[in-house]
Amino acid sequence: MGARVAGSVALVTGGNRGIGEAFVQQLLEGGAAKVYCGARTVADVPQALLDAGAVPVHLDVTDTASVAKAAATCDDATVIVNNAGLHGRDRLVLAADPDMARQEMEVNYFGPLNMIRAFAPVLAANGGGAIVNVLSVAGAFPTAFMGGYSPAKSAAMFLSIIARAELEPQGTSVTALVVGSVETRMSDHVVGAKEAPRDIAIAGLKAMERGERVADTDRMAMEARAKYALDPVRWERGVAKVLHSTAPPSTGR
């Protein structure tokens, strides 16, 4: 079993908006004893979260010094939600910004790795606890116009599985969440049905409490993963078709 929400001390990276903000809200509503809201700029933490009891913490997951300081400050943590992410909306080889893939890897892969390395001893000292990595369907299979984002989230999936195996002796569970399209600023360019961040947070925390290794958080994630598993070649040909018939969206988060 993973950690319980009630009575936990949680830290959510990128907790000032979107899915991260929803995780902070749900943890507080679920009876967490304390919830740290990690943000690169603490002034960006919504007043509503502060009023609800969230504790703002300056945290840049790509900066090991910042992560180390957070680990020292939040030394009572029992749950870590690695939510901070970056989507550059670019291609990979034919990228408009050739540096974007590196930035996406820094945030989406090395960021969670930095956090897990720094907080593993903290969680061990506090009884084991749990780590939740907020990933994406784009990390489960190659996705058009997510050139650097898709490989970075895929790497984070393997990170989750390996970290779980390494940390199992200290009683720390690691859950990777496969998330579909969600109504956030990151997906404001996406047309079609989107999930509410709150629903993703609810599903993710339930998966954590059950101690799941990999969990789909929504219908799109489940259906897309099933479709790819049934015919990966057809899916990959579809990616190529979309890439060569559609103009790429503008770069930006």
The catalytic residues are 149, 153
105 and 152 in contact (C-beta within 8 Å)? yes
Give the C-alpha separation, 68 to 64, whole Å: 6
Pairing of strands 173-178, 9-12: unpaired
Give the C-alpha separation, 86 to 104, whole Å: 6
Give the C-alpha separation, 133 to 159, whole Å: 9
Give the burial string for 27-63 (b: 16+ CB within 10 Å, else e). Answer: bbebebebbbbbbbeeeebbeebeeeebbbbebbbbb
